[in-house]
Amino acid sequence: MRTPIPIMPINGQESVWDYPRPPRLEHVGQRIEITFAGTRIVEAPECFRVLETSHPPVYYISPAFVASGVLQSAAGSSICEWKGRADYFDVIANGKVAAKAAWRYVAPTGSFAPIAGHVAFYAGPMDRCTVGGEIVTPQPGNFYGGWITPGIVGPFKGEPGSLGW
C-alpha cells in the first residue's frame, strides 16, 4: 500500500488532508446548481458540506431546492459509521435515469442532525454540478460522492492505490 503524499495547498485552497476524522459538518453559503439530462434539477442558495480526511466535500442540499419529481426512491440502503443509515434515489429527468445517484439520511446521528432529509448527489452521472459557479469534478472511484472544485487538493480517497488509506 502506498502512503499518500498530500499536495500542499496554495493560497485559497484547502487540502483534504487537513479535514478531520471523524468528519465535520459545515454550512455553505455558496450557490449550488446541478443539471441532469439537460434540466437544471437543483438551484440552491446554500447547503451543508461534510468534510472528512482524504475525501473531497460531500454537499447536502435541502429538498426545497431540488426540482419536483426528479427523485424516485431506490431499493437498498447503506450505513455510514458517522452519519447513520442512508436511503438512495434514482434521479430522473427528460426520460433519462441515473440509478442510485442521490442519497439522504432521514435520521442522521448527533452532530449531523442538520442534514436530516437533505439530499446529496453523485457528480459523475450528472451533466454538470457547480459550487459557487465553479465546475465540480467527481471524486474518483465508484463508491464515494465527494465533489472536487479547483480550491480542493488531494490526493483523494478513491484513486487507484487508496483502498487502505
pLDDT digits (tens, 9 = 90+) for 29-53: 999 999 999 999 999 999 999 999 9
pLDDT of 165 > 90? The answer is no
The answer, yes or no, to whether residue 1 has pLDDT greater than 80, is: no
Q: State whether residue 65 is helix, strand or coil.
A: helix
Does 56 score more than 90 pLDDT?
A: yes
Mean pLDDT of 96-114: 97
Percent of the chain scoring above 90 in pLDDT? 92
Distances in Å between the Cα of 54 and the Cα atoms of 20, 38, 102, 163 are 9, 32, 21, 11
Question: What mean pLDDT is predicted for residues 148-160?
Answer: 96
Confidence of residue 145 (pLDDT cuts 50, 70, 90): very high
Is the CA virtual torsion 21, 25, 29, 31 positive or negative?
A: positive
Average pLDDT over residues 77-102: 97
**What does pTM read for this prediction?**
0.97
- DSSP designation for 13: -
The gap from C-alpha 147 to its chain's centroid, in whole angstroms, comes to 5
Instruction: Map out the domains of the chain with their CATH numbers.
Output: 14-144 (2.170.150.40)
CB 156 within 8 A of CB 146: yes
Assigned C-alpha cell, 160 = 487507484
